[in-house]
């Protein structure tokens, strides 16, 4: 049994599937969703292609190949395949290394040569993806730590922003790396073409403000911001007469307007077939080609796998994608796209989420969005020629801000300060060098952090586990040494084989590990959800022996003494009797009472040097409970009673013994 959109349980036979029955049964819903996704995909495909240094139609070729091939090869029901902003940096870098300039000065012979070389790189990388899926290596996407991947994506966002801001301002000759371009933004603003900057500014404002409008006006909820940008920018470009070369003056300064500020498209119906371009495989004899082949292959496959996993979590029916089949399908579609002049593709999460929100039921919604793209480009290319490049640049700037949003930094910091350090190092190294070096730097830093926290070197790539049956339907897996990102794949296979394949409940005992890192904590949470969907349980034990790096449930944990608070209170019998139930209400997990004899300052000053009978209370508790008790003593008790109290920090072996009931072991390291 699984849950539907409404939260009700449904039989497996009632879950929408991308078969012949699903094709006809959900035809209307899938066509409707495909049409709405097409409205988002059209400008993005064109904009991503141009930003990547490819001809505008290359993005359309890619989306059409993905839409017409992957639904029949992959079992992923909700993902939309197509070009993605996250690959712009790789493709453009490849183009530039082969002598192209990303059409910054128009389409020249050097651009054509670099374009054909990049197609050969894409085709070869696609063959590696096919082999990757054929040999069931899709699980390798589990190796890379989430923090490193997010740092890489944030860097890609910064690079996209740096390269598209000048285009949105009408500055078409901007050159250099991301850091150079970011420093030149004030200069770009001073050199902006006011008419083009107006289009770019309005388009960017729409991208940011339209979601707010859509959330308040229900009738507009299905209208994407990208469509509104086109509906505003195209007429504005026509009003400015961008199809005709002319100039205008503002404050006695002249500015040029012409077709270079518009998307270049075929001038007749079905003219797209003249744009089909074959790869130049002769470049495979150069070592630089293989560098980019590995970049296309590794980064493209990783992004696609992560996106497909994310979409599975959003799927109302929680249908699970076979990652090996999916990467095989993406590889086949990438090969087809490269052979006709298209960009590399991935499972694209933004369009996929829109697909779900628009009510799609099966993978055929992906197919229909490709059909609409093909018809649009084939039948009305001259209309697409009216789209201003500044509007497309604004869309990509918006996409870049989502990838590098300040919330990304905050979310990583909540998991742990060491995670923020890894995130920032990955981001900075990517900006200063390239993607592969940045990812490698992030992974290396994470390993160094693990070594510093006592992870045995021998357990970095090997999972040390013991397996024992508890009863007829339950098995215990005992983890030794460590459970970290680099040995997660063998851990996962053990958990899957015993639990999901053999249909057994699992108890995962982590008490024997020196460390459980943030990546494993996040992936274990995902696996618990998979077990629940399969009607099984995955119980985690032993985490109470660990100290967490932050209060996040995904925080890394190490086997170490945990510092908490010990409160010692000396007072009279009556006050002690009143204090104990009050402290229990505040959340203490236990208390100790000792009868004693003594005298405080007031007693000595009053001549009672011999002292009197007193009670000593001792409580060990977590800092937040300690603060409540201290405040209670300071405000309610000390003004009217004789009380001596002190607080000290002590280290405990098992934090859970001192936490209020129901509180998770998330006490952070300080």
pLDDT per residue as tens digits for the range 604-647: 777 777 778 899 999 999 999 999 999 999 999 999 988 999 99
Report the range out of 135-149, 409-423, 457-471 with the highest average pLDDT: 409-423
Mark residue 542 as left, alpha or beta (left: phi above 0; alpha: psi -120 to 50; beta: remaining): left
> Do the domain assignments include residue 452?
no
Residue 388: pLDDT band (50, 70, 90) is: very high
Report the alpha-carbon distance of residue 89 to residue 633 in Å, rounded: 60
Given a cut of 60, is residue 668 above it in pLDDT?
A: no
Q: Which two tokens stand for residue 429?
A: 């190294």
Residues in the chain: 670
Residues 434-439 have a mean pLDDT of: 89
For residue range 244-267, list pLDDT tens digits in order: 999 999 988 999 999 999 998 887
Residue 173 counted as domain residue:
yes
Q: Are residues 310 and 384 in the same domain?
A: yes
Q: Extract the tokens encoding 437.
A: 């070096």
Residue 105 banded pLDDT, cuts 50, 70, 90 = low
Indicate if the pLDDT at residue 138 is higher than 80.
no
Residue 599 contacts residue 612 (beta carbons within 8 Å): yes
**Are the CB atoms for 31 and 362 separated by under 8 Å?**
no
Q: 202 or 175, which is more confident?
A: 202
Calculated CA dihedral for residues 370, 389, 168, 197, nearest 10 degrees: -130
Q: What percent of the chain has pLDDT over 90?
A: 73
For residues 585 and 464, membership in a common domain is answered with no
Residue 280 belongs to what domain range? 2-408
Q: Is 10's pLDDT higher than 70?
A: no
Query: Are 507 and 402 members of one domain?
Result: no
pLDDT tens track for 55-98: 999 999 999 999 999 999 999 999 999 999 989 999 999 999 99
Residue 448 lies in a domain: no
Q: Domain check: are 519 and 630 in the same one?
A: no
Same domain flag for 164 and 220: yes
End position of a domain, from candidates 408, 434, 466: 408
d(CA 230, CA 263): 12
Strands (E) located in 272-370 = 346-348
| pLDDT at residue 536 is higher than 60 | yes
The CA distances from residue 106 to 53, 273, 295, 478, in Å, are 10, 21, 27, 62
Alpha helices in 341-387 (DSSP H): 349-357, 364-379, 381-384
Q: What is the mean pLDDT of the chain?
A: 90
562 phi and psi angles, rounded to 5 deg:
-110, 125
Q: At what angle do helices 435-452 and 417-432 cross, to 10 degrees?
A: 150
Q: Tokens standing for 627?
A: 């603060």
Using DSSP's 3-state secondary structure scheme, residue 483 falls into strand
Mean pLDDT of 410-438: 94
Q: How far apart are CA 236 and CA 231, in angstroms?
A: 9
Question: Is 669 within the bounds of a domain?
Answer: no
According to DSSP, residue 546 is labeled S
How many whole angstroms separate alpha carbon 92 and alpha carbon 89? Answer: 5
Give 661's pLDDT tier (boundaries 50, 70, 90).
low
More confident: 610 or 297: 297
Average pLDDT over residues 648-670: 69
The answer to the question of residue 442 being in a domain is no
Residue 3 has pLDDT above 80, yes or no: no
Token pair in block for residue 544: 């109470």
Cα–Cα distance measured from residue 47 to residue 400, given in angstroms and rounded to the nearest whole number: 13
Q: How far is CA 185 from CA 101, 176, 199, in A?
A: 20, 12, 18
**6: exposed, middle or buried (C-beta count within 10 Å: 0-12, 13-18, 19+)?**
exposed
Task: Please check whether residue 64 is in contact with residue 374, taking contact to mean a CB–CB distance below 8 angstroms.
Answer: yes
Name the strand (E) or helix (H) holding 313. Answer: helix 287-314
pLDDT of amino acid 658: 86
Domain C-terminal end among 375, 408, 441? 408
CATH of the domain at 567: 3.30.70.120
Pair 347, 392 in one domain: yes
Question: 194 and 314: one domain?
Answer: yes
Facing residues of 477 across strands? 467, 508
Q: 669 versus 545: which is more confidently predicted?
A: 545
Identify whether residues 541 and 577 lie together within a single domain.
no
CA 627 to chain centre: 37
Helix axis angle, 389-403 relative to 194-216, nearest 10°? 50
Q: What is the pLDDT of residue 107?
A: 75
Note whether 150 and 287 are same-domain residues: yes
Number of domains in the chain: 3
Query: How far, in Å, CA of 125 to CA of 293, rounded?
Result: 5
Alpha-carbon distance of 633 to 569, in angstroms, equals 10
Residue-level pLDDT at 580: 93
515/640 same-domain check: no
Residue 279: predicted pLDDT: 97
Count of CB atoms situated within 10 Å of the CB of 181: 21
Residue where a domain terminates, one of 511, 532, 558:
558
Over pLDDT 70: what percentage of the chain? 96
pLDDT of 669 reads 45
Contact between 42 and 376 (Cβ < 8 Å): yes
Q: What is the 3-state secondary structure (H, E, C) of 18-42?
A: CCHHHHHHCHHHHHHHHHHHHHHHH
Summarize pLDDT for 446-482 with one digit per residue, the tens: 999 999 998 999 999 999 999 999 998 999 999 999 9
20 shares a domain with 57: yes
Predicted local distance difference test score (pLDDT) of residue 538: 95
Task: Say whether both 266 and 352 belong to one domain.
Answer: yes
Nearest to 319 by CA among 135, 84, 74: 74
pLDDT, one tens digit per residue, over 266-288 is 877 777 888 899 999 999 999 99
Q: Is residue 451, in this structure, part of any structural domain at all?
A: no
Q: What angle do CA 512, 547, 652 make, to 5 degrees?
A: 95
Q: Is pLDDT at 495 greater than 60 in this prediction? A: yes
Q: For residue 663, is it within any domain?
A: no
- Beta strands 592-598 and 505-516, pairing class: unpaired
Q: Looking at residue 175, what is its pLDDT?
A: 86
Assigned domain for 169 exists: yes
Strand partners, 565: 621, 649
- Contact indicator for 338, 126 with CB cutoff of 8 Å: yes
Q: What is the mean pLDDT of residues 468-497?
A: 93
Report how far Cα 43 is from the mean position of its chain's Cα atoms.
23
């Amino acid at each position: 049994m699984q849950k539907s959109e409404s939260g009700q349980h449904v039989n497996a036979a009632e879950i929408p599937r991308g078969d012949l029955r699903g094709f006809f049964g959900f035809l209307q819903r899938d066509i409707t969703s495909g049409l709405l996704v097409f409205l988002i995909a059209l400008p993005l495909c064109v904009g991503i292609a141009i930003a990547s240094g490819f001809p505008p139609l290359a993005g359309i070729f890619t989306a059409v190949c993905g839409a017409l091939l992957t639904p029949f090869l992959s079992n992923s029901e909700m993902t939309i395949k197509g070009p993605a902003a996250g690959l712009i940096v790789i493709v453009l870098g490849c183009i530039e290394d082969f002598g192209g300039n990303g059409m910054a000065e128009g389409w020249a012979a050097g651009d054509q040569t670099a374009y054909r070389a990049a197609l050969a790189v894409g085709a070869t990388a696609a063959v590696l993806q096919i082999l990757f899926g054929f040999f069931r290596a899709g699980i390798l996407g589990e190796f890379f730590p989430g923090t490193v991947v997010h740092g890489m994506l944030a860097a890609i966002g910064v690079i996209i922003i740096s390269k598209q801001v000048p285009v949105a301002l009408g500055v078409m000759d901007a050159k250099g790396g991301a850091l150079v371009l970011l420093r030149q933004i004030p200069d770009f603003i001073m050199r902006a073409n006011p008419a083009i900057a107006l289009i770019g500014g309005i388009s960017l404002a729409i991208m940011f403000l339209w979601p707010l409008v859509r959330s308040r006006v229900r009738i507009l909820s299905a209208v994407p911001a990208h469509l509104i940008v086109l509906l505003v920018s195209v007429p504005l470009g026509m009003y400015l007469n961008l199809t005709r070369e002319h100039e205008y003056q503002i404050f006695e300064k002249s500015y040029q307007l012409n077709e270079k500020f518009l998307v270049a498209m075929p001038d007749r119906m079905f003219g797209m077939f003249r744009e089909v371009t074959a790869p130049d495989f002769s470049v495979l004899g150069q070592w630089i080609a293989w560098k980019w082949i590995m970049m296309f292959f590794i980064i493209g496959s990783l992004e696609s796998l992560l996106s497909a996993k994310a979409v599975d979590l959003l799927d109302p029916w929680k249908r699970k994608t076979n990652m090996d089949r999916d990467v095989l399908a993406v590889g086949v579609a990438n090969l087809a796209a490269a052979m006709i002049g298209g960009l590399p593709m991935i499972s694209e999460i933004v369009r996929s989420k829109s697909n779900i929100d628009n009510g799609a039921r099966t993978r055929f919604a992906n197919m229909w969005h490709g059909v609409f793209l093909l018809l649009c480009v084939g039948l009305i290319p001259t209309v697409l020629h009216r789209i201003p490049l500044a509007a497309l640049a604004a869309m990509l700037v918006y996409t870049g801000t989502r990838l590098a949003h300040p919330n990304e930094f905050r979310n990583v910091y909540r998991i742990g300060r060491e995670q923020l350090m890894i995130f920032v190092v990955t981001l900075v190294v990517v900006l200063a060098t390239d993607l592969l070096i940045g990812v490698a730097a992030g992974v290396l830093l994470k390993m160094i952090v693990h070594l510093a926290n006592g992870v045995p070197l021998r357990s970095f790539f090997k999972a040390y586990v013991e397996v024992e049956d508890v009863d007829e339907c339950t098995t215990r897996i005992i983890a030794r040494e460590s459970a970290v990102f680099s040995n997660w794949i063998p851990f996962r296979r053990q958990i899957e084989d015993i639990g999901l394949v053999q249909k057994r409940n699992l108890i995962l005992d982590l008490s024997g590990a020196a460390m459980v890192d943030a990546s494993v904590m996040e992936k274990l949470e995902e696996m618990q959800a998979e077990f629940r969907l399969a009607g099984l349980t995955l119980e985690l034990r032993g985490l109470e022996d660990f100290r967490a790096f932050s209060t996040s449930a995904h925080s890394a944990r190490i086997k170490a003494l945990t510092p908490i608070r010990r409160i010692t209170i000396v007072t009279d019998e009556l006050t002690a009797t009143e204090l104990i139930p009050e402290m229990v209400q505040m959340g203490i997990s236990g208390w100790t009472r000792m009868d004693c004899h003594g005298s405080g300052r007031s007693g000595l000053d009053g001549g009672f040097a011999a002292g009197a009978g007193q009670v000593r209370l001792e409580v060990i508790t977590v800092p937040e409970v300690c603060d409540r008790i201290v405040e209670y003593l300071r405000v309610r008790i000390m003004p009217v009673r004789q009380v001596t109290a002190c607080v000290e920090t002590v280290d405990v072996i098992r934090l859970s013994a001192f936490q209020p009931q129901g509180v998770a072991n998330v006490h952070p390291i300080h």
